Amino acid sequence: MSQIELPKVYNPQDFEDRLYKFWLKNDLFSPKGEGEPFVVAIPPPNVTGVLHMGHGLNNSLQDALVRYWRMKGRPTLWVPGTDHAGIATQQVVERRLQKEGKTRHDLGREKFVALTWKVKEEHHAIISQQLKKIGASLDWSRERFTLDEGLSRAVRQVFVTLYERDLIYKGRYLVNWDPEAQTAISDDEVEHKEVAGFLYHIKYPFADGSGFVQLATTRPETLLGDVAVAVHPSDERYTGLVGKMLKLPVADREIPLIADPFVDKEFGTGAVKITPAHDPNDFEAGRRNNLPQINILNPDGTLGPNVPERYRGLTGPQARKKMVQELTDLGLFVEAVPHKHMVGHAQRSGAVVEPYLSEQWFVRMKPLADKAMQALREDQIRFFPKRYENTYTNWMENIRDWCISRQLWWGHQIPVWTCGDCGHVHVKMDTPNTCEKCSSKTLKQDEDVLDTWFSSWLWPFSTLGWPELTPDLAKFYPTTAVVTAYDIIFFWVARMVMAGMEFTGKAPFRDIYMTPLVRDKQGRKMSKSLGNGIDPLDIVNEFGADALKFTMVYLSAQGQDINLDKEGFKLGSKFANKIWNASRYLLMNIPDEGVLPAGQIQKNDVDRWIEGRLNATIRNVDEAMANYRYNDVGHAVYDFFWNDFCDWYIEATKLEFNAGAERKRQAVSKLVLVLEESLRLLHPFLSFITEEIYQQLPGHAFSLVTAPYPVADPARDDASVASQFLALQELVRGIRTLRSEFTIPPEKDIEVVVGLDAGYAHSKFLKAHRDLAALFTGAEGLSFGDQGNKPAGAVTVVGKGFESYVLVRDIIDVPKEKEKLKKTIEKTSGYVLSVEKKLSNQAFVASAPVEIVEGERTKLLEAKENLERLTAYLEELEG
RNA sequence: GGACGAAUAGCUCAGUUGGUUAGAGCGGCUGCUUUACACGCAGCGGGUCGGGGGUUCGAAUCCCUCUUCGUCCACCA
């Protein structure tokens, strides 16, 4: 009899891919219409890998956000793209070569880069596929890549501009060196980890043989680069000794004992060795004291030409062992004390970072940071949750210059050309052919490439066409929001604000939503090495993309990391299943004549109730979405659909279904209306299933993607019906509980008389819905009477304003009932006492707001009434 | 050494500006093939809101302090 039949079992595989293609084919993800746009640029995934759960979360939340605002009618654009991820990608390719026993140098720069492009294509294909699988409503026509032509021009433009503004400089400094990747890295790319090492105490003899200076170091092998030993100027232990020469053991050089206030007198012996080329402090101390810099390392971290022959080529640990041995032999080694200290590791390669002296390009960050701080001060940007402002501010205030050159091949080659003849330096947008000074043709471009983040920080505007003044840039910049994990604030978010302010004069986005981090059930970070990661595609395959997205939305509380395992996604899949089945039920009950036109629909109390609930839900969703409170959104729609719509409304309409074809048609028509609106409400959070069902709805529009989002309508609020329905629910729940507690089987019809209090406000409503109450409680003959008029042999269920007498003399267990009553009495009288105490407190009555006091009075009255009835009944049972 | 976060039911967590008899999901228990859904329905049990002080008429919520975890930042050799 039904016109429409959904498959019996909810199987997302059957339609998710099909629907994504449908959306794409009809260009539903490109911005439409007029008004204030809503724009998000995707945090570009690295082309190195595949998407992990962090991306699953992040893109689910972005998709929810974007779909919501798109349905709200704003021209909405979500820009897709990927990041070339300099070091990471180059490493992937180098490892592949390594398996063939080759290095990138065997190929040469050009071939290596070409090969890397191929690898990029492979990963890019996987990543795009994954994003489509999870349903991301990205505008693929605007996809970008940080190394594509347009973005490369943006990068050059920025480099040249910064150079011209004297915000970029080149210099020989101590930088963080990744000996594995053999490149400089920025401070932010160094991760400090605690390492258990030793503090080696050693002695340096004075050159004149007049004794020793004892000092301590964690890295004895760096002795070979020592150029002095420093003590504090006011350290009395060394009075008269400063200026004397020490004989540096093993290296056989003489170095001075100097005084410098940076030395901590309290630490150890108060003497510290100075190794300017291998320690940031020493570097500064060396400059202050005009000391030489001796670089003892090769780029790969082994010891280099400036050390004694027998040390050359040794790795750090090897050299350390040898050094300790030699010092021991010389009688200069004192002891090695176990010592925990922080050691920098390269974020990408994991190698121990070496402070390394080299010539690099830097960005002067202070002026940029000032503008970025200004953006926050002026409220151009807002953090969600707000507390991340601290992280941002703290970083900005302690900003250091940014080392942007990388000794890699994969990336934007630095747009600097040096004349081979006159040495003139050209910093240009376009590759120059001749030297502008001496017309020489021998121009050589700087070999290095730029840090990956040097292109990422331009992302919000470079993806829209900057530096060209494209229509997209004019229309969609600045963007609305950036959604990303909080561990990327420094690398990306803060720098994007800097770049936006510097190059466009505007913050690149208004809202910064920091997503939680997804962790495993034990709260550990998901990682390859622990094997505790969850592949978002596994989730999609097993539970569906909607389960993935809804679960993420439901669990994303502000600033709270999410701990979960695969099982956790059942939350979403169960909800989707519920939606499926409820919809299937409604659709299969649409009569052949179809649903009624709007004009013929007549609404009753229950319809008004569900509309009020729907209205309240819409309001909650709007409020929560505006504040990026995803978990609130998830709970609001879940509770509405499951508890209100399915458990009460659909159940209630079963009464109508049994009351003849006409009334059934009325009921189904109204159900379809509520379902239709619910699907629109749910679509941003469960996009596929809602669209699949929506497409089956009579009179549906083209697609949910572009359907209008439900709007809260004050005319649909009905406070009266809301409170009346609550009374009905109270009545029903009371009787259900009683049935359950006395284990009365559902099929057993019970006799119930509801005794209404004379002045009870909801008497009329309850009487009008007698049939509903009967249906919900399984008491066919449910009737109404006066309160207190309890039939013999009945058990009482006490409500607020009524009591239900259930005739179950033959069924019930009298002692059990007495027990239950006593318990309730105890609870109620405790409550009465606490409220009485509160109300007898003069201070409370005097200072609390009137409505609070009134509320307490009402509560007390109700509780007292209940208590009286309960007590009376207990007496009766006993007597 | 700084900064921030967390501690609430057996588990994972909500609880927005202080005002309910503190909630959800999962798990547990009881009963149900009840016109879609057992990925279900109905019901039940379970918490001195980490400890201790304080402010307030009133604190899970604000302040102080302690304990335990976690994260970020920081050049103590």
Question: Helix (H, G, I), strand (E, B), or coil: what is residue A621?
Answer: helix
pLDDT of the residue at A585: 95
To 5 degrees, how large is the angle CA A223–CA A227–CA A228?
100
Name the residue type at position A65: L
Q: Tell me: the pLDDT tens digits for A581-590?
A: 999 999 999 9
pLDDT of the residue at A656: 93
Q: Which residues contact A838 (CB under 8 A, 6 or more apart)?
A: A844, A856
Q: Is the pLDDT of residue A463 over 60?
A: yes
A827 CA, B19 C1': Å apart: 21
Mean pLDDT of A256-277: 87
Eight-state DSSP code of residue A352: B
Strand B lies under 7 A from the Cβ of residue A10: yes
Q: Is the pLDDT of residue A343 over 90?
A: no
A847 CA, B54 C1': Å apart: 20
Q: Tell me: the pLDDT tens digits for A484-507?
A: 988 888 889 999 999 999 999 999
Higher pLDDT, A692 or A87: A692
Chain-wide mean pLDDT for chain A?
90
A62 CA, B68 C1': Å apart: 36
Strand B lies under 7 A from the Cβ of residue A743: yes
Of all nucleotides, the one whose C1′ comes closest to residue A856's CA is: B19
Of all nucleotides, the one whose C1′ comes closest to residue A654's CA is: B35
Q: How confident is the model at residue A591 (pLDDT cuts 50, 70, 90)?
A: very high
A737 CA, B44 C1': Å apart: 9
pLDDT of the residue at A207: 86
**Residues 675-734 of chain A sitting with CB below 7 angstroms of strand B:** 732-733
pLDDT of the residue at A772: 94
ipTM confidence: 0.94
**Residues 246-285 of chain A sitting with CB below 7 angstroms of strand B:** 262-268, 270, 272-273, 279-281
In this prediction, what percent of chain A has a pLDDT beyond 70?
99
In this prediction, what percent of chain A has a pLDDT beyond 90?
56
Question: Helix (H, G, I), strand (E, B), or coil: what is residue A191?
Answer: strand
Q: Tell me: the pLDDT tens digits for A542-567?
A: 999 999 999 999 988 877 788 788 88
pLDDT of the residue at A825: 83
Q: Tell me: the pLDDT tens digits for A701-740?
A: 999 999 999 999 999 998 899 999 999 999 999 999 888 8
pLDDT of the residue at A3: 60
Protein-contacted bases of chain B (C-beta within 7 A):
3-6, 11-16, 19-21, 24-26, 30-37, 39-44, 56-58, 70-77
Mean pLDDT of A773-794: 88
**Residues 207-236 of chain A sitting with CB below 7 angstroms of strand B:** 215-219
Q: Find the range with the poorest average confidence among A147-161, A465-479, A801-815.
A: A801-815
Strand B lies under 7 A from the Cβ of residue A662: no
Q: Which residues contact A30 (CB under 8 A, 6 or more apart)?
A: A77, A139, A141, A142
Of all nucleotides, the one whose C1′ comes closest to residue A567's CA is: B26
Strand B lies under 7 A from the Cβ of residue A647: yes
Q: Of A872, A760, A772, A755, whose CA–CA distance to A807 is shortest?
A: A755
Of all nucleotides, the one whose C1′ comes closest to residue A828's CA is: B21
Q: Which residues pair with A170 in a beta bridge?
A: A361
Mean pLDDT of A751-758: 91
A529 CA, B9 C1': Å apart: 34
- Its pTM stands at 0.92
**Residues 436-495 of chain A sitting with CB below 7 angstroms of strand B:** 487, 490
pLDDT of the residue at A879: 65
Q: Is the pLDDT of residue A610 over 90?
A: yes
Cα→Cα distances A826→A796, A834, A863, A874, Å? 17, 12, 12, 12
Higher pLDDT, A865 or A646: A646
Mean pLDDT of A748-776: 91
Strand B lies under 7 A from the Cβ of residue A835: yes
pLDDT of the residue at A1: 44
Strand B lies under 7 A from the Cβ of residue A393: no
Q: Find the range with the poorest average confidence among A281-290, A736-745, A791-800, A808-817.
A: A808-817
User: What are the b/e assignments for A132-160, b being 16+ CB within 10 Å?
Assistant: bbbbbbbbbebbbbbbbebbbbbbbbbbb
Tokens of A276: 């300017």
* Alpha carbon distance A746, A824 (integer Å): 25
To 5 degrees, how large is the angle CA A322–CA A327–CA A332?
165
Q: Is the pLDDT of residue A645 over 70?
A: yes
Q: Residue A407, class by beta-carbon neighbours within 10 Å (0-12 exposed, 13-18 middle, 19+ buried)?
A: middle
Q: Tell me: the pLDDT tens digits for A414-450?
A: 999 999 889 899 999 999 999 988 988 989 999 999 9
Q: Is the pLDDT of residue A529 over 70?
A: no
Q: Is the pLDDT of residue A59 over 90?
A: yes
